[in-house]
């Protein structure tokens, strides 16, 4: 697929190390000037690192249960997140739905743009060069490596995230969950299913 939106330039290891040293220096200065304490900084870092996909799973479960919310989610993901008091910090969130005809896969080809507020930290493989390249060129093969076999009758669409625009997949609701409540449904939703590399085993049966 064409890459028709701007990204920042790729960062080489030496340049990244300089940025990391600069971040450390700024952090130490903020602590020295009593702008923030080391304890507060540690808490903030642990909170960020501890974020998981629970907020995204909550959005998916609500969409599976509430047709009106699903319509809102697919129309404006950011607004739908805020309906559930989930902050998106100004990022445009686009939610794409898996159906019997279409399976969606998310990637960021030149960096690792990712909806961290909703899905937590990105997995290591999402940031790797092989995934970023192959997801576009051979998405069906990538999915097979995750154990996800998509029938040839199903179209695979690859969506490329950017610095100010993030994608999230609304997985197909598993069968035999008609009377399940949102809490039960949320337990079926994984980070990988919201990236699109996995899906419910019965989604296309």
Q: Per the residue annotation, which of 72, 78, 113, 193 is the catalytic one?
A: 113
Answer yes or no: 112 catalytic: yes
Q: How far is CA 129 from CA 10, 29, 133, 138, 168, in A?
A: 11, 34, 6, 14, 20
Catalytic residue, chosen from 78, 108, 161, 193, is 108
How far is it, in rounded angstroms, from Cα 112 to Cα 133?
12
CA distances from 18 to 13, 55, 111, 127, 195 (A): 9, 34, 18, 20, 31
Taking a C-beta distance cutoff of 8 angstroms, is the pair 49, 121 a contact? yes
Do the Cβ atoms of 199 and 193 come closer than 8 Å?
A: yes
Which of 112, 128, 161, 193 is the catalytic position? 112
Catalytic residue check, 34: no
Q: Which residues pair with 166 in a beta bridge?
A: 93
Gap between the Cα atoms of 65 and 59, Å rounded: 10
Q: What sign does the CA torsion over 82, 75, 196, 201 have?
A: positive
Q: Write out the two tokens for 50.
A: 């501890």
Q: Catalytic residues, which ones?
A: 108, 111-113
């Amino acid at each position: 697929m064409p890459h028709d939106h701007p990204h920042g330039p790729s960062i080489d290891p030496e340049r990244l190390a300089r940025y990391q040293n600069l971040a450390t220096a700024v952090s130490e200065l903020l602590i020295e000037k009593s702008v923030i304490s080391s304890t507060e900084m540690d808490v903030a870092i642990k909170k960020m690192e501890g974020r998981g996909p629970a907020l995204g799973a909550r959005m998916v479960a609500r969409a599976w249960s509430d047709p009106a919310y699903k319509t809102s989610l697919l129309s404006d993901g950011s607004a739908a997140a805020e309906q559930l008091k989930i902050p998106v910090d100004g990022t445009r969130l686009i939610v794409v739905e898996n159906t019997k005809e279409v399976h969606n896969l998310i990637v960021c080809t030149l960096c690792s743009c990712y909806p961290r507020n909703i899905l937590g930290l990105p997995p290591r493989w999402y940031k790797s060069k092989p995934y970023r390249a192959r997801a576009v060129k051979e998405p069906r093969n990538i999915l097979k490596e995750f154990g996800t076999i998509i029938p040839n009758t199903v179209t695979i669409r690859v969506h490329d995230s950017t610095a100010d625009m993030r994608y999230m997949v609304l997985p197909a609701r598993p069968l035999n969950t008609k009377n399940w409540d949102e809490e039960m449904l949320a337990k079926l939703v994984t980070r990988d299913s919201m990236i699109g590399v996995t899906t419910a085993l019965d989604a296309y049966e």
